[in-house]
């Protein structure tokens, strides 16, 4: 359970997305995240028929892609409009869960795809969230994450809470949760580092 400031973080951040669900879909449905999807699948041996949790699936863009590629994705999001939209757009099972009140099944998934989502988790709650993601993976499973990078600052950006990790800080959190680093890169590709605001990384549950 969450208490105190975590409740406010969840309430305000989810309200932001719930009030802009359709605009968010229109603004992101054509974003190309194929590099990130390929990074997760490559780390899993490019097999088909994988069980994948799309953590923070939003309106379902990537759920649809994973299903089209022959996998068995399940979506998870805390915003009720996104849960409904994701199911409609992808036809996949979608769970409504607050990131800070997760209840995930044990060893259910081969991979977790957390694209632009984990940065909404305050650092004080990150160990619990990463622990849940670690436990929901099968042994040898892979977590992919992509977050806006920064210098470790966190706080409110309008009505959304965010934490902006650099690579050493993010690495400390993931290693403490029991993950083994497979690799990382910055996005968008082919640009100078100062024009690459996203840090992407892959991690294995041993």
Check pLDDT > 60 for residue 1: no
At residue 129, the 3 state secondary structure works out as helix
Q: CA–CA separation, 55 vs 116, rounded Å? A: 9
Q: CA–CA separation, 159 vs 177, rounded Å? A: 28
What pLDDT, on the 0 to 100 scale, is given for residue 49?
97
Check pLDDT > 70 for residue 2: no
Mean pLDDT along residues 4-9: 82
Q: How many CB atoms lie within 10 A of CB 29?
A: 13
Check pLDDT > 80 for residue 3: no
Q: Are 60 and 92 in contact (CB under 8 A)?
A: yes
What pLDDT, on the 0 to 100 scale, is given for residue 46?
86
* Burial degree of 69 (CB within 10 A; 0-12, 13-18, 19+): middle
What are the tens digits of pLDDT across the range 101-151? 999 999 999 999 999 999 999 999 999 999 999 999 999 999 999 999 999
Band of the pLDDT at 4, cuts 50, 70, 90?
low
What pLDDT, on the 0 to 100 scale, is given for residue 27?
84
φ and ψ of 122, to 5 deg: -60, 150
What pLDDT, on the 0 to 100 scale, is given for residue 5?
66
- Looking at the structure, give the CATH architecture of the domain made up of residues 5-204: 3-Layer(aba) Sandwich (3.40)
Strands 51-55 and 109-115: parallel
Q: pTM for the complete prediction? A: 0.95
Q: Are 67 and 49 in contact (CB under 8 A)?
A: no
What pLDDT, on the 0 to 100 scale, is given for residue 181?
98
| Distance between start and end Cα atoms, the chain | 27
What are the tens digits of pLDDT across the range 29-83? 889 999 999 999 999 998 999 999 999 999 999 999 999 999 999 999 999 999 9
């Amino acid at each position: 359970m969450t208490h105190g400031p975590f409740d406010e973080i969840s309430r305000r951040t989810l309200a932001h997305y719930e009030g802009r669900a359709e605009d968010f879909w229109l603004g992101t449905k054509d974003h190309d995240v194929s590099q990130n999807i390929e990074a997760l699948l490559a780390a899993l041996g490019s097999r088909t028929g994988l069980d994948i949790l799309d953590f923070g699936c939003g309106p379902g863009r990537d759920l649809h892609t994973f299903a089209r590629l022959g996998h068995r994705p399940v979506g998870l999001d805390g915003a009720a409009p996104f849960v409904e939209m994701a199911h409609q757009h992808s036809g996949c099972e979608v769970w409504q869960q607050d990131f800070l009140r997760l209840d995930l099944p044990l060893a259910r998934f081969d991979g977790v795809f957390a694209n632009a989502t984990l940065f909404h988790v305050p650092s004080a709650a990150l160990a619990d969230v990463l622990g849940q993601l670690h436990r929901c993976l099968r042994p040898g499973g892979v977590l992919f994450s992509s977050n806006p990078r920064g210098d470790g600052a966190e706080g409110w950006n309008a009505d959304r809470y965010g934490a902006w990790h650099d690579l050493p800080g993010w690495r400390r959190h993931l290693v403490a949760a029991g993950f083994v680093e497979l690799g990382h890169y910055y996005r968008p590709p082919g640009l100078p580092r100062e024009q690459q605001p996203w840090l992407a990384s892959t991690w294995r549950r041993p």
